[in-house]
Every structure is written in C-alpha cells, then in structure tokens.
Amino acid sequence: MAATENRHEVRPFSLSVPDSALADLRHRLQRTRLPDEAPGSGWTHGTSLGWLRPVLAYWRDEFDWRAQEARLNAMPNGKVRMDGIDLHFVHVPGCGPRPCPLLLSHGWPGSLFEFIDLIPRLTDPARFGGAAEDAFTVVAPSLPGYGLSFEPGQPRFGIAAMADCFARLMTDVLGYSRFAAQGGDWGSLITTTLAAAVPDRLIGIHLNLLLLPREIIAGAGGTPEEAAFLRAYARWRREETGYLWMQGTRPQTLAYGLTDSPAGLAAWILEKFYAWSGGQAAPDVVFDLDTLLANISLYWFSGAIGSSFWPYYERLHAPWPVPGGRVSVPTAYAAFPAENLHPPRSLAEQAFTDLRRWTPMAKGGHFAALECPDALAKDIRAFFRPLRAGLS
C-alpha cells in the first residue's frame, strides 16, 4: 500500500550527539560514587554491585556510542510536528510485492534500539529464510516523551494520547488507511487502545504482553488457571512493583537523581532487563551489552527519563485508557515464558473478543524483540498472513 501525500511536513532526521555530551558522560562516570551492598545479596535487593561496577567501566572506557548511533541512522528517520511535539519515528519500506504497513510500539524502559534486529526480519523476511510476500513496511515511533520524541518542557502524553497520535501518524501523515499494529510493554496497551478506538483502521493486532482491566482481574479465580494467575499477580504486586509506585506517584522526585547520575540511571534500567527476562542470568548474558548501553545512553543524552515516567503517573490517576475496555479486531498473543505475568486465555478472551492466535513461545521474556527477534518476527508474519486481504 503506497503512502499518499498529506499536509504534514515530515523532516528527515539524523542523530548526532555532540562530542561535548560524550565527554561529559565519561567525566560523570569517572566520578561515580557507588553504594555498598549487603553481603552476599547479589541481585536479591536490586542491581548487583559486583556486576554493575565493570559494566560502568566498560561504558566509560570502551563503549562505542558512534557505532550504535550509526545503527539507528541506517534506518530512514523522520520527525513531524504533532500535538505540540516533534514526533520522531523510523519508516522502513518493505522488500516484497505488497508490503503491509505495520505500526511497531515500544515501551519502558525501552527505545527503538530494541527493534533494530527485529525490523529487518519484518521488512525483508526473504533475507532471513521467510517469504517476500510476508514483508511489512514498518513505522516505529519513539513514544512521545521518550528519547528522540522529547524536548524539555513539552506536553506530557498518556497512553490514550499516544494511541491517538499514532493513529493520525499512520493515516493523516503517512497515508495508510488500514494497517497492522504490534507492541509489548506500554506498546501493548497503546496497540490495544488504538484497536478499540479506531477498529476500522486495524486489520489486526499482535501483542507480546497482555494487560487487562482491573475488573476482569478482580473477577478471576473460577478455574485453577485463573487462581494460579491471581497468586502470581499478588506476588508481582508485592515484590516487583516498587518502581511502578515511585514512577506513578513521585516521578519528578525520582527524575532528579536519574537525570544527574548516569550510574543511577543504568542501575535503575538494567535491573528491569534482569528481572523481566526471568532473573536467572545477568543482563549481558541474555542481551547484547552494547545494545543495552545504547538504550541507556539514549535516555541519558535525551534527558527524557523523567518524561518517560508519565504513563505510570497517568495509569495510577486516570481511568483504563481502552475505550469500552474491549477489543473486537483480530488479536494474537505471543506468550514468552519469562514474561512477568501470564493471564490465562479465559481472562484474555473477556478483553479480546476475537483472539485468533495464542502462541506459547519456547524461550524469552518481556523484551522479546531484543531477546528473540527471529521467533517474534515469525509469529507476527504468521498471524498477519491471512489478514492482509483486509488492506484492499
């Protein structure tokens, strides 16, 4: 489907962090003052001191930001003025006879660096053993308030506002009257909200995280699977949501420390890559360390960590963003085993009334696009294959 002309001006963009900012980061890392750690605690109480210390030294002395910057700039980057901000996105054309437009949404504490290995598997599947007929043209925005979609003092966006902005990006700016959408983390809720708000524009949605309204969770427990989920959910709320309450109640206070200290920022973010990938191996075992540091560096150079907390604040102080609480468009779910929570299908079908595909994945966790790009891409391609006729 070809994009049509529109009245919005898309400006080409290339990221180039000033040398002075790189020097400042190295200087701050040289002056890091680390805390002590309870003897023998490891990762039990948060990011491991013994693991983090050499990672910070590597970030300071060996990490090549310019190489990571070039990886991002290798994709077609653009910015467009929307809703009072300069929205950044990549728009990568598909290599196939009729590529399907696909909106790809990231979450927190992620960025477009999560998608660098996934995107070519979607835009050029034949290069990775797939069929050219399954190609997508991928549109992947930086969430408003995140990374390259952030400037100091700009308006804050919650999930509903992000979904509305992305719908207009796809249709009004890029000219795609109908498209597919995929997401995990906040990207999952943005995708779900989008499908409920403008179902006529979506041929289907693919999720690798299922987020359900509180009333559905509150009514669970009628089956053994639902009872097990409630136990896991209670443990999650008790042991794993400290970050959520801090970011959702006092985001400004937290932002001072993480905006000023790169070591603090790294510890805050890397703990999530550890815990949300199963908590069985250090992050640099599960993920490529340079990509992790590229992601953190983007938060650092953009100064967007405080703004990135806003969806958490909104979620604790505003209604569920999905209009009507239900989605009727065709839906797929890729269930990665190390994901934080796994609602049973009986609950998921109350929120997603046309749940057509439910794929138990062999391995992987919350950051599936980064950890398992091959498996995720294959599931996305398989789900949307029969739905492409809906683009006509």
**Any idea which residues carry the catalytic annotation?**
185, 312, 366
Model-level pTM greater than 0.75? Answer: yes
Domain for residue 25, yes or no? no
- For tokens 């003025």, what's the residue? 81
Compare 392 and 71 and report the one with higher pLDDT: 71
Confidence of residue 392 (pLDDT cuts 50, 70, 90): low
What was the pLDDT predicted at 197?
Answer: 97
**The pLDDT value given to residue 6:** 44
99 assigned to some structural domain: yes
- Is residue 281 predicted with pLDDT exceeding 60? yes
Residue 391 confidence (pLDDT): 86
Tell me how far the alpha carbon of residue 193 is from its chain's centroid.
15
Compute CA 80 distance to the chain's CA centroid, rounded to the nearest angstrom.
20
- For residue 366, what are the domain limits? 48-391
Average pLDDT, the chain: 96
Residue 24 lies in a domain: no
Which residues are CB-contacts of 70 (< 8 A; sequence separation ≥ 6)? Answer: none
The terminus-to-terminus CA distance of the chain in angstroms comes to 9
Find the angle CA(25)-CA(299)-CA(110) to the nearest 5 degrees.
Answer: 140
What is the rounded distance in angstroms from the CA atom of residue 341 to the CA atom of residue 296? 25
pLDDT tens digits, residue range 140-153? Answer: 999 999 999 999 99
Token readout for 88 is 């950044």
Among 2, 323, 17, smallest CA distance to 194 is for 323
pLDDT at res. 390:
80
Six token digits for residue 193: 């909200």
In the predicted model, what is the mean pLDDT of residues 270-280? 96
Please write the tens of the pLDDT for every residue from 186-239: 999 999 999 999 999 999 999 999 999 999 999 999 999 999 999 999 999 999
Q: How many domains does the chain have?
A: 1
Give the residue ranges of DSSP H helices in the chain. Answer: 19-30, 49-61, 65-73, 118-123, 159-168, 186-197, 214-218, 224-239, 242-249, 251-260, 262-275, 283-286, 289-302, 305-308, 310-317, 345-351, 368-371, 373-384
Using 50, 70 and 90 to split pLDDT, how confident is the model at 8? confident
pLDDT at residue 134 tops 70: yes
**DSSP calls for 43-79:** TTTSS-HHHHHHHHHHHHHT--HHHHHHHHHTS-EEE
- Measure the CA–CA gap between 171 and 163, rounded to whole angstroms: 12
The CATH number given to whatever domain includes residue 387 is 3.40.50.1820
Per-residue pLDDT for 82 more than 70?
yes
Is the pLDDT at 247 greater than 80, yes or no?
yes
